[in-house]
Amino acid sequence: MDVNLSSEDLAFQQEVRDFLQNNAHDPKTDYAQWRLNWFELAKAKGGWDVPKWPEAFGGPGWSPTQHYIWEKETAVAQTPWDLPFGLSMLAPVLMNYGNEEQQQRFLPDIRARKVNWCQGYSEPNAGSDLANLKTKAELSEDGTYYTVNGSKIWTTLAHIADWIFCLTRTSDTGKKQEGITFLLIPMHQEGIEVKPIITLGGAHSVNMVHLTDVKVPVENLVGEEGKGWGYAKGLLAHERTGLAGISRSLVALDHLRIQASGVKRGNATLLDDPAYKSKLAELEIDLLATEFTELRSLASAANGAEPGPESSILKLKGTEIQQRIQKLTVEAGGIYSAAWGKQPVGHSFAKGGMAGYLSSRAYTIYGGASEVQKDVVAKNVLGLKKAK
């Protein structure tokens, strides 16, 4: 694949670099205010605040190469933190399946980063087998609201979310995928309880969410009742593409080389060790191959195609690569990676490396476990059929 940049692409790359450099955060200023200002400035550039949104909804209408440049440059630069749930996951669903009233109601606040969303998919007995979900939504006799009862698990950032987009069961007849309905539910109301789950890395990012007799107005139904499985699959394709984190991994791999070059091994460094060097080289080859798959996916998107089974390849390989980077970071930290406490011991990156490694165990589970992705690839990419 030819990835040589044209003169127009090089000019765009320089424009992006100038924007990122001129609007980088000054540590002496308030971060929260800088963050909001940054997105406003990006919006004024012509939709740079929502780079993946289509032009019809205020996005920049970039070519695949421009998207590629943006991802690479922002991975290196100091850009403000952003949450994917509203911008990259719910927004495409609303654009494709929501009615005009819902688009006008929710998309502006999502774009302005005024409202935090979380994802209500997985349940205690419906993780990889998501269609097995049991959270029930019953329509009232007058047809004005649903009453929702059930539990969701591994709900990322539910403790700071204002809303949850939630898969619920409205029918138990027919195939289990056919009775699933997509609802938008305010978090701050009676009947919703959020309980923290502390991860291996010691962080509070995921939660258990219990819904008891929660009332949801019927106007918060996205699309048609019972059609939520199709919407959910589209959302997961967008999520899996984002979870691959190719550009971030390229930057992380560069950082890993720098860290390894500072670890002494006899008269040389860890970066000179043949065994470690071989692992880095193998990792880089796999990362570059995955990057080209991402470029092909971008090219398809530019022609109007929705993310397809290639998103499963990206999610599968991208998250495995992230785990391998974390593992090699722990290896570079050596015995110091085992130290646990408030202060790092030995190499400055060792403590964070171990925390990152522990957290990375979930990468190949959330957003669709690797086993599920392999099934998708086998069926939809390789054309394999189940044995009878």
Task: Please identify which of the residues 71, 225, 239, 310 carries the catalytic annotation.
Answer: 239
Rg value, the chain, Cα? 22
Amino acid sitting at position 388: K
Q: What's the number of CA atoms in the CB half-sphere (13 Å) around residue 108?
A: 5
3-state helix, strand, coil split of the chain in percent (to 5) is 50, 15, 35
How many CB atoms lie under 10 A from the CB of residue 213? 10
Catalytic residue flag (residue 123): no
- Beta carbons of 134 and 126 less than 8 angstroms apart: yes
Beta-bridge partner residues of 139: 146
H or E element at residue 125: none
Q: What are the residues whose beta carbons fall under 8 Å from the beta carbon of 303, sequence distance 6 or more?
A: none
Tell me which residue of 49, 110, 105 sits closest to 74, measured CA to CA. Answer: 49
Other CB atoms within 10 Å distance of the CB of residue 227: 18
Q: What angle do CA 214, 223, 229 make, to 5 degrees?
A: 80
Q: What angle do CA 143, 144, 150 make, to 5 degrees?
A: 90
Helices 228-243 and 310-333, interaxial angle, to 10°?
A: 40
What is the DSSP annotation of 103-117? Answer: HHHHHHHHHTT-S-E
**366: enclosing H helix or E strand:** none
- Nearest CA among 364, 241, 373 for reference residue 305: 241
* Residue 45 host element (H or E): none
Integer Cα distance of 247 and 291 in angstroms: 8
Would you name the residues annotated as active-site residues?
239
